[in-house]
């Protein structure tokens, strides 16, 4: 556990994007995604422009392209859905390579593919350049209700511990010669999920008592790190503003 | 192949409908926070945090369904039976928000939709079933297990129909609604049965060891009798 709590998508690089305060990055990602989703699907050029913008951000953040591609495979189920759409769609149809494809389905597939991919890449860039702790700090500064940031803080802090608990239980089971791996052996899996819950809940009670005995009264002390400067807000506003400019020009 | 939990991505449902559901989800979660505080008062943050970490950890555990196909638990109905609807909905939403921001799973603009389906509809349906079934079934580990099974199957299927409803309101493509609804229901009945089997065994395990922790059972436990005043003998004068 000494290895810090970096999440699997974080890429530690010395780049200007990494140094930006987290709240400006969250705001910029959200605004950019909203502009992308609001763009009509017929504006092919606009989507190309957005992709170029993201490529520039990735280059400044020193996030390699194939790293992004590999992580973007999370949207693969959606791509499969998008491929099915032209065949399943209704309305006017065109014939291409002997296949009858629905025009509306083609547009729909393009829409889902383009907006989905741009959204995933934008989120990946945010995740790659922001640590977990900074992200929560950013949400807190964006006036996200404290209940949520606190629950999320505890969740991320204890996630690794619980995952390790689960791993230890699995190792214990394996070393006793039992390796449930098929549907009819699911009981062993479920029982260990049950004991994982017990361990988590009892740990929660202990953590709460430990906190109360150290003076917890329902609020956590704020971690101090430099707030975003106006200059940082301007820098990160470049992404959504450029996207909005592209959207306006294309329409 | 690995079966992934499919969260709605950007661009499947149009902007206005997404915004509408984001507002709806925010209001509903505010209500959940208020009710969850009544359950846990200042224990809310640490306890809900640990339960959310549990749900997250459970989603990372894969088990093999058939050779080559593995799945994982979604944990919504499990949370409802174990910690109640308010804390459960809060925990599942926190998991969804973090998955969206840190793991790029599910679109940022579709967050309201995902929270509505998985954290609100799934939990609400699950909890109504739990409340109804626990009146009929015996308050034993087996009874709670059966409740968890039914709540999981129906909760998961209804959550998938939540997507169909959103798609009907603002889908960006024009697929026939019956096809979408049928496909979603069919796939999710299968997911729900797997989910239900595991949730049932899990809940039964917890109910055997610490029945006091199972929210669904706690409601029916008689309140601890008030301590009897010990008669104090007046010292003889």
What are the pLDDT digits (tens) for A171-219?
888 898 877 666 667 777 788 888 888 888 888 888 888 988 988 776 6
User: Which pLDDT belongs to residue A2?
Assistant: 40
Cβ(B84)–Cβ(B98) below 8 Å = no
Cβ(A162)–Cβ(B57) below 8 Å = yes
Q: Which two tokens stand for residue A86?
A: 């032209």
Closest by CA position to B6, among listed B148, B163, B154:
B163
β-pairing verdict for B63-66 and A93-96 = unpaired
> What number of other Cβ atoms are within 10 A of residue B65's Cβ?
15
Determine what percent of chain B is predicted with pLDDT higher than 70. Answer: 83
- Rounded to whole angstroms, how far apart are CA atoms A141 and A11? 23
Closest by CA position to B207, among listed B86, B78, B31, B115:
B78
Which helix H or strand E contains A28, and what residues bound it?
Answer: helix A22-38
A98/chain B closest Cα distance in angstroms: 22
- Rounded to whole angstroms, how far apart are CA atoms B87 and B219? 15
- Count CB pairs under 8 A between chains A and B: 252
Round the average pLDDT of chain B to a whole number and report it: 80
Cα torsion for A8, A12, A13, A18, to the nearest 10°? 90
Q: Is the pLDDT of residue B67 over 70?
A: no
Q: Do A33 and B61 touch (CB under 8 A)?
A: no
pLDDT-derived band at A3, boundaries 50, 70, 90? very low
Tell me if chain B has a CB within 8 Å of the CB of A86.
no
What sign results for the dihedral spanned by CA atoms A198, A199, A202, A203?
A: negative
Determine what percent of chain A is predicted with pLDDT higher than 90. Answer: 0
Cβ(A201)–Cβ(B51) below 8 Å = yes
Residue of B14, B35, B37, B46 for testing the chain A interface, max A β-carbons within 10 Å: B46
Tell me if chain A has a CB within 8 Å of the CB of B50.
yes
Tell me if chain A has a CB within 8 Å of the CB of B69.
no
Q: In chain A, what residues touch B11 (CB-CB under 8 Å)?
A: 36-37, 111-112, 114-116, 119
Tell me if chain B has a CB within 8 Å of the CB of A71.
yes
Q: Is the pLDDT of residue B222 over 70?
A: no
Count of residues making up chain B: 237
Cβ(A250)–Cβ(A39) below 8 Å = yes
Higher pLDDT, A99 or B185: B185
Residue of B36, B79, B108 for testing the chain A interface, max A β-carbons within 10 Å: B108
User: Which pLDDT belongs to residue A179?
Assistant: 74
Cβ(B7)–Cβ(B59) below 8 Å = no
Q: Is the pLDDT of residue A31 over 50?
A: yes
- Rounded to whole angstroms, how far apart are CA atoms B58 and B60? 5
A145: CB partners within 8 A, 6+ apart: B30, B33
Rg, C-alpha atoms of chain A: 23
Nearest CB partner across the interface for B57, out of A37, A132, A159: A159
What is this model's ipTM?
A: 0.79
User: Which pLDDT belongs to residue B237?
Assistant: 56
Q: What is the pLDDT of residues B102-131, one digit of tens each?
A: 777 777 888 888 888 888 888 898 889 888
Tell me if chain B has a CB within 8 Å of the CB of A181.
yes
Tell me if chain A has a CB within 8 Å of the CB of B198.
yes
Cα torsion for B168, B174, B176, B178, to the nearest 10°? -20
Determine what percent of chain B is predicted with pLDDT higher than 90. Answer: 0
Q: Which CATH class is domain B3-219?
A: mainly alpha
Mean pLDDT score, A38-43: 79
Cβ(B75)–Cβ(B83) below 8 Å = no
């Amino acid at each position: 556990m000494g290895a810090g709590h970096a999440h699997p998508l974080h890429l530690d690089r010395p780049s200007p994007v990494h140094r930006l305060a987290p709240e400006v990055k969250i705001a910029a990602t959200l605004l950019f995604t909203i502009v992308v989703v609001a763009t009509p699907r017929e504006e092919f050029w606009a989507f190309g422009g957005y992709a170029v913008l993201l490529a520039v951000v990735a280059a400044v953040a020193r996030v390699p392209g194939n790293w992004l591609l590999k992580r973007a495979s999370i949207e693969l189920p959606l791509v499969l859905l998008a491929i099915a759409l032209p065949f399943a769609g209704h309305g006017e149809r065109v014939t291409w390579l002997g296949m009858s494809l629905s025009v509306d389905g083609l547009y729909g597939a393009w829409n889902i593919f383009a907006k989905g991919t741009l959204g995933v890449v934008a989120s990946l860039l945010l995740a790659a350049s922001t640590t977990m702790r900074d992200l929560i700090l950013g949400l807190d500064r964006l006036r996200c209700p404290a209940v949520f940031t606190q629950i999320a803080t505890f969740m991320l802090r204890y996630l690794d511990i619980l995952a390790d608990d689960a791993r230890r239980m699995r190792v214990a089971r394996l070393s006793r010669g039992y390796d449930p791996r098929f549907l009819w052996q699911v009981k062993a899996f479920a029982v260990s999920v049950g004991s994982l819950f017990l361990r988590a809940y009892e740990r929660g009670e202990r953590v709460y008592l430990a906190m109360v005995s150290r003076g917890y009264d329902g609020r956590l002390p704020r971690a101090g790190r430099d707030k975003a400067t106006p200059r940082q807000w301007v820098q990160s506003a470049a992404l959504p503003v450029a996207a909005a400019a592209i959207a306006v020009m294309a329409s | 192949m690995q079966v992934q939990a499919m969260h709605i991505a950007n661009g499947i449902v149009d902007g206005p409908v997404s915004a509408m559901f984001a507002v709806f989800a925010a209001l509903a979660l505010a209500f959940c926070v208020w009710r969850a505080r009544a359950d846990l008062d200042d224990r809310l943050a640490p306890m809900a945090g640990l339960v959310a970490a549990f749900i997250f950890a459970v989603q990372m555990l894969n088990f093999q369904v058939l050779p080559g196909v593995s799945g994982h638990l979604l944990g919504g109905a499990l949370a409802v039976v174990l910690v109640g609807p308010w804390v459960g909905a809060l925990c599942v939403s926190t998991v969804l928000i973090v998955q969206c921001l840190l793991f790029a799973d599910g679109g940022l603009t579709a967050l309201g939709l995902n929270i509505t389906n998985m954290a609100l509809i799934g939990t609400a349906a699950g909890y109504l079933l739990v409340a109804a079934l626990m009146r009929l079934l015996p308050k034993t580990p087996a009874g709670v297990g059966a409740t968890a099974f039914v709540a999981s199957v129906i909760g998961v299927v209804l959550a998938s129909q939540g997507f169909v409803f959103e798609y009907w309101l603002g889908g960006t493509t024009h697929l026939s609604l019956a096809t979408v609804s049928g496909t979603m229901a069919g796939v999710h009945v299968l997911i729900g049965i797997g989910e239900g089997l595991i949730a049932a065994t899990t809940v039964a395990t917890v109910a055997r060891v610490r029945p006091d922790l199972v929210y669904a059972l706690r409601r029916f436990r008689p309140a601890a009798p008030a301590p009897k005043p010990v008669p104090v003998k007046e010292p003889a004068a």
